[in-house]
Amino acid sequence: MPLDIARARAETRGCESILHLNHAGSSLMPIPVADALIGWQREEEFRGGYETAARHRGMLENFYDATARLLNCHRDEVAFIENATRAWDMAFYGLDLGPGDRILTAECEYGSNMIAYLHRAKRTGCVIDIVPSDNHGQIDVAALDRMIDGRVKLISISHIPTGGGLVNPAARVGAVARRHGIPYLLDACQSAGQIPLDVEEIGCDFLAATGRKYLRGPRGTGFLYVRRNWLATLDPPLLDQHAAELISETEYVVREDARKFENWECHFAGKAALGVAIDYAVGWGIGAIRDRVQPLAADLRTRLATIPGVEVLDEGAEKCGIVTFRKADEGAEAIKKRVADQGIHVSVSGDSGSRVSYDRRGITQAVRASVHYLNTEAEIERFARVVSES
C-alpha cells in the first residue's frame, strides 16, 4: 500500500517550516519520538534520573525488542551504544588481529573506519587490502572472492557510503564470507531505516548503525548487533560494571549477551526514544520506505542532470536516497549556504569521509541531498529549481 505522506508530514513538526534534504546527516524526529525524548528528560528534571529509569524500565527494554524486529535477530544479540562509530569500534577492536592478518574492505569505505584500520595496522601489523570496485562503482564481489586467502581475518564494508548513492551488495559479500568462514562486519549507518536489514539474509556477524539518520531517532544513539556464536569469543575492548561483575578483588565475570559491549551510564532518554523510533519506522514498513525513497531520489537525479553544469556523482547498480552532485560554476559549500537561505537543508560530503573513493574519482567535495519518505515530489522540484539558479 502507498505510504500516507500527508500523515507522515503531519506527524513531523519540522515539515511546517523547512525543506529537509539532510536525512543522511540527521533526520527530522517524528512527534512520537520527540515527545518520548523530551518527556523522559522533563520527568528526569522533576523526578530524578534513576527514578525515571526505574519507572520506565519497559521503554528501555523495548529498545532490544524493537531492534531485534528490525534486524531479524535475537534481543540478546543487540547492544545500545552512543553512536554508530563507537558501536562499530566495539566490534572491530574486539577482534584479534595480528601481524600479517588481512582486512578486506571497499573503495567507498567510510573515513572513520579507514582510520581505525590504519590505527590497528600501526599497532598490530595487520594489513589493509582494498577490493576494487566493479563497473557500477560498488564492491566487486568476484574480485573479493579471488582475494581470499588464509590470512584474511575480516571482511568489513559500509553498506551505503556516506558520500554517494550506491547500495553495496551486502548479501553477496556475506555469501563469500560464509563460504570461507571469515567474520563479516557491516556498517549500516546509512541503511538502517532506509532499506530492509535482515542479518540472516545478509550473513553478517556484526552490524553497527545509528539512530539519528534514516531511523529518525535522537542524536547520541546507536546500536551494535553481534551474532550469537560470536558473543562468547568477541572480547570487548573495554569493560565496566555493567558489562561485567566484580566478584572479588581479583576476579570478574563478563556478561554473556551483547550488553557486555554497553556502558553502565548511557543516554537513557535517547535509548527509550530510539526504541520508539524503530517501532515507528517498522510500523510504516521498511520495504515500503525503500520503495518510496528510491523513486524520489531517482527523480531528483533526473532533474539535476538536466541543469547546465551539474554532474550527478552517484554510482551503483542499486541506488538509495542519497543524491550527490557538483556544479561547475559553484562550489558545494556555496550551494549549501545559498539553498539554506531559502529554508532548504543539505550537506556537503568532503574527501575525508570518502577519501579512497573520492581520490580515485577526482572528487574533492560534493553536495549531498538525502531524501526520505516524508519528502514530496513538489519539494524535489523546488530544490532542483533553486540549484539551477545562480
CA distance 160 to 208: 12
- Give the per-residue pLDDT at 113: 97
**What pLDDT does residue 285 have?**
98
- pLDDT for 27 equals 98
Domain ranges of the chain: 5-29+285-388, 33-283
Please give, one letter per residue, the 3-state secondary structure of the chain.
CCCCHHHHHHCCHHHHCCEECECCCCCCCCHHHHHHHHHHHHHHHHHCHHHHHHHCHHHHHHHHHHHHHHHCCCHHHEEEECCHHHHHHHHHCCCCCCCCCEEEEECCCCHHHHHHHHHHHHHHCCEEEEECECCCCCECHHHHHHHCCCCEEEEEEECCCCCCCECCCHHHHHHHHHHHCCCEEEECCCCECCECCCHHHHCCCEEEEECCCCCCCCCCCEEEEECHHHHCCCCCCCCCCCCEEECCCCCEEECCCHHHHCCCCCCHHHHHHHHHHHHHHHHHCHHHHHHHHHHHHHHHHHHHHCCCCEEECCCCCCECCEEEEEECCECHHHHHHHHHCCCEECEEEECCCCHHHHHHHCCCEEEEEECCCCCCHHHHHHHHHHHHCC
Nearest Cα to 356, choosing from 161, 176, 85, 189?
161
Q: Are 160 and 191 in contact (CB under 8 A)?
A: yes
Q: How far is CA 244 from each of CA 1, 54, 90, 228, 241, rounded to the nearest angstrom?
A: 46, 21, 15, 18, 5
The answer on pLDDT for 350 being more than 90 is no
Distance from C-alpha of 243 to C-alpha of 236, rounded to nearest angstrom? 9
The CATH number of the structural domain formed by 5-29+285-388 is 3.90.1150.10
pLDDT at 306 exceeding the cut of 90: yes
Q: What is the mean pLDDT of residues 279-298?
A: 98
Q: Which residues contact 236 (CB under 8 A, 6 or more apart)?
A: 90, 94, 243, 254, 260, 261
What is the average per-residue pLDDT within 91-105?
98
Which pLDDT score, from 0 to 100, does residue 389 have? 94
Q: pLDDT-derived band of residue 2, with 50, 70 and 90 as boundaries?
A: confident
Nearest to 372 by CA among 3, 34, 1: 3
Asked if 240 and 234 count as a contact pair (C-beta separation under 8 A), the reply is no
User: Is a pLDDT exceeding 80 seen at residue 281?
Assistant: yes
pLDDT band of 352, cuts 50, 70, 90: confident
Rounded to two decimals, the pTM is 0.97
Between CA 386 and CA 337 the distance in angstroms is 12
Class of domain 33-283: alpha beta
pLDDT score of 390:
77
- At 148, the pLDDT band (50, 70, 90 cuts) reads very high
Cα(127)–Cα(8) distance, integer angstroms: 47
Question: pLDDT tens across 310-349, in order?
Answer: 999 999 999 999 999 999 999 999 999 999 999 999 999 9
- Cα separations in angstroms, 269 against 27, 79, 215, 231, 266: 18, 16, 16, 27, 9
Residue 1 has pLDDT above 80, yes or no: no
Tell me the per-residue pLDDT of 210-240, one tens digit each, with 9 for 90 and over: 999 999 999 999 999 999 999 999 999 999 9
